[in-house]
A and B are shown apart, each in its own frame.
Chain A
Amino acid sequence: MNDEYTPKIIGFLCNWCAYTGADLAGVSRIQITPSLRIIRVMCSGRIDPLFVLKGLLKGADGVMMMGCHPGDCHYQKGNYSARRRYVLLQKLFEDLGFESERIGLWWVSASEGPRYAQVSSEFSEEIKKLGPNPVREEIFI
């Protein structure tokens, strides 16, 4: 074990694509970043922006949202809604001067195990560069 800082990242993964993709990455024995804590949701459309916000305000260093590619949603259109919400959240973060780099949305299909491993470790690296979430120190939040 080295003392290197490992960020804490929450990942909201849709059951049908991203989560299955993550599973595939696992069974394919691809190296996956240890920073990610996965929460499975039935659809990326279920990811309430408040989940993301709460995660960050409670001290997570980053939040990943993952769902099916556009057009592939198990529920036809959930990921389109997710995309709008993500865009809204991103803009809101920019307006308020929060680090919008701490959130991200990716489409990962059930067969994209390597892509899953790649985007999550890339994101983890970026968060590492950003350092710990300043909110963690904030008492009067």
Chain B
Amino acid sequence: MTATQIDSNKMPTKGAIIPAEEEINKTIVDIFKKSLEKKCFDAILIPVRVPETEAYAWVLLKDQSLLDEANPLPPIISVQGAKALRSLTKRGKMTQNIAAILRPCEIRAAVELSKLKQIHLDNISLISIDCPGAMPLSDYLADPEKSKKIYKNVLEKWGEDDSVRPVCHICNRFSLPSLLHRKSVKISPVEQDEAKMPSIDLHIGLLGGNQEKIFLIPVNPKGREILEKLELKSDDSLDLWQTKVSEVQEKKEKIRKEFNLELKEKIEGQKKLTAVFDECINCHNCMRVCPICYCQQCFFDSDSLTLSPETYISRAEKKGALRFPLDTMLFHLGRMSHMVLSCVSCGVCEDACPMSIPVAQIFSLVADQTQKSFDYTPGINKEEPLPLQDFLEDEFHEVETPSEAMTPEEVN
């Protein structure tokens, strides 16, 4: 095992610039229509509006006419894209070539799931897109027409409009640079070639395009091949896009920092945290929509937590009263301990919470801190091991008992 600096992961500087028609979405969809025609892919996984409704569902399609109602960037995240990809490829790899158009957080969740052996990424081209965030499900469902207008504004303003979900508002991984690897990872020499490949093949840049053009950015050789098949030259400069990305990035980092400081104040400490989860009704919706929570049978849904009535009664007697459903705090913190190192802050948990508990904000805050201590960013490189599957002999000495024996005086 040697540590290798992954250099082929540096930011691509060239791409194809496509002039946009009135609607950016239409321009993107047209590219994918063409890609089906040119046989870049056999099928495409993309959100499509369900006819006669305002709802979006993931559809794997090869019929081009279905793309008419497709939207690569719908105002909401319905099912997390990684979850859709998992349902498609959990039992094995696809034999056909599939393009999956996902938001950055969805791509990262997909990469995490592939590490967890829940997704087979073979024959799947991951295509990411600059994401301004998504609107809260409840807001959108309450008034889809109004929400669509607001979302249009969100797309134009980038990062200034806070009608997106809180986790989206503070998201600092909304574009390609933050999805690429920049640190050295331990990988065996045999795997190196593949490991050097970024998981993303193609990125669709919207930033800096001013709604007038979009950037198609090939990230690896496969991406370049796709552009070639589309008969697109990929030697346009990406300066406009890059400048805007770093500008928004800077802004977002600042918002995130401030937001998290404030949030920390609100939830830190057992009392405050208990108050936040007091309203939890134990429906486990958050776990069920979470892309990382992949267990078929969650530990917290299992019989392990069912005890005899005597135990409940004696527990009640200790405090005078015992809350039911039991162990809501155990569930949330337990779930956190299970998945927070892989949490991609996609926010679907919060969207699904019937009690509007800020689950995603809390998980994202904790994720920030815990991931930092392992120097790990989930969903960047599919060869990078999960922190808890790996260890170094020489690490975290600060948590160990001091090796020097105490002097007799100290003992006394």
Is A140 among interface residues, defined by CB-CB distance under 8 A? yes
Is A139 among interface residues, defined by CB-CB distance under 8 A? yes
Chain A, interface residues (CB within 8 Å), range: under 10
A135 nearest CB across to chain B (Å): 15
| B57: A residues at CB distance < 8 A | 140
| B50: A residues at CB distance < 8 A | 140
Is B263 among interface residues, defined by CB-CB distance under 8 A? no
Bound complex: CA of A140 vs CA of B57, how far in Å?
8
Bound complex: CA of A139 vs CA of B50, how far in Å?
9
A65 nearest CB across to chain B (Å): 29
| A139: B residues at CB distance < 8 A | 59, 66
| A140: B residues at CB distance < 8 A | 50-51, 57, 59
Bound complex: CA of A140 vs CA of B51, how far in Å?
9
CB-CB nearest in chain B for A140? B50
Interfacial residues of chain A within 84-141, with CB under 8 A of chain B in the complex: 139-140
CB-CB nearest in chain A for B55? A140
**Chain A at the B interface: mostly helix, strand, loop or mixed?**
loop
Bound complex: CA of A13 vs CA of B133, how far in Å?
53
| B59: A residues at CB distance < 8 A | 139-140
Q: Mark B37-53, 1 if CB is under 8 A from A, else 0.
A: 00000000000001100
Bound complex: CA of A140 vs CA of B66, how far in Å?
11
Bound complex: CA of A132 vs CA of B50, how far in Å?
23
Bound complex: CA of A140 vs CA of B59, how far in Å?
8
B56 nearest CB across to chain A (Å): 10
B195 nearest CB across to chain A (Å): 38
A140 nearest CB across to chain B (Å): 5
Bound complex: CA of A139 vs CA of B66, how far in Å?
10
B59 nearest CB across to chain A (Å): 6
A92 nearest CB across to chain B (Å): 23
Bound complex: CA of A139 vs CA of B60, how far in Å?
10
B304 nearest CB across to chain A (Å): 28
A141 nearest CB across to chain B (Å): 10
A57 nearest CB across to chain B (Å): 16
Q: Mark B42-84, 1 if CB is under 8 A from A, else 0.
A: 0000000011000001010000001000000000000000000
CB-CB nearest in chain B for A139? B59
Bound complex: CA of A50 vs CA of B59, how far in Å?
24
Bound complex: CA of A139 vs CA of B51, how far in Å?
10
CB-CB nearest in chain A for B51? A140
Bound complex: CA of A96 vs CA of B57, how far in Å?
22
A104 nearest CB across to chain B (Å): 32
Interfacial residues of chain A within 36-73, with CB under 8 A of chain B in the complex: none
B78 nearest CB across to chain A (Å): 12
| B66: A residues at CB distance < 8 A | 139
Interfacial residues of chain B within 10-55, with CB under 8 A of chain A in the complex: 50-51
CB-CB nearest in chain A for B61? A139
A127 nearest CB across to chain B (Å): 27
B239 nearest CB across to chain A (Å): 42
A139 nearest CB across to chain B (Å): 6
CB-CB nearest in chain A for B63? A139
B295 nearest CB across to chain A (Å): 23
A18 nearest CB across to chain B (Å): 33
B294 nearest CB across to chain A (Å): 24
Interfacial residues of chain A within 18-49, with CB under 8 A of chain B in the complex: none
CB-CB nearest in chain A for B60? A139
Q: Mark B125-159, 1 if CB is under 8 A from A, else 0.
A: 00000000000000000000000000000000000
Bound complex: CA of A140 vs CA of B52, how far in Å?
12
B62 nearest CB across to chain A (Å): 12
A128 nearest CB across to chain B (Å): 27
Bound complex: CA of A139 vs CA of B52, how far in Å?
13
Bound complex: CA of A31 vs CA of B50, how far in Å?
45
Bound complex: CA of A140 vs CA of B50, how far in Å?
7
| B51: A residues at CB distance < 8 A | 140
Bound complex: CA of A139 vs CA of B61, how far in Å?
10
B139 nearest CB across to chain A (Å): 23
CB-CB nearest in chain A for B57? A140
Bound complex: CA of A140 vs CA of B53, how far in Å?
11
Bound complex: CA of A139 vs CA of B70, how far in Å?
13
CB-CB nearest in chain A for B59? A139
CB-CB nearest in chain A for B66? A139
A: residues with CB less than 8 A from B are: 139-140
B: residues with CB less than 8 A from A are: 50-51, 57, 59, 66
Question: Which A-B residue pairs are the 4 nearest by beta carbons?
Answer: A140-B50, A140-B57, A139-B59, A139-B66
Q: List 5 A-B contacts (CB under 8 A).
A: A139-B59, A139-B66, A140-B50, A140-B51, A140-B57
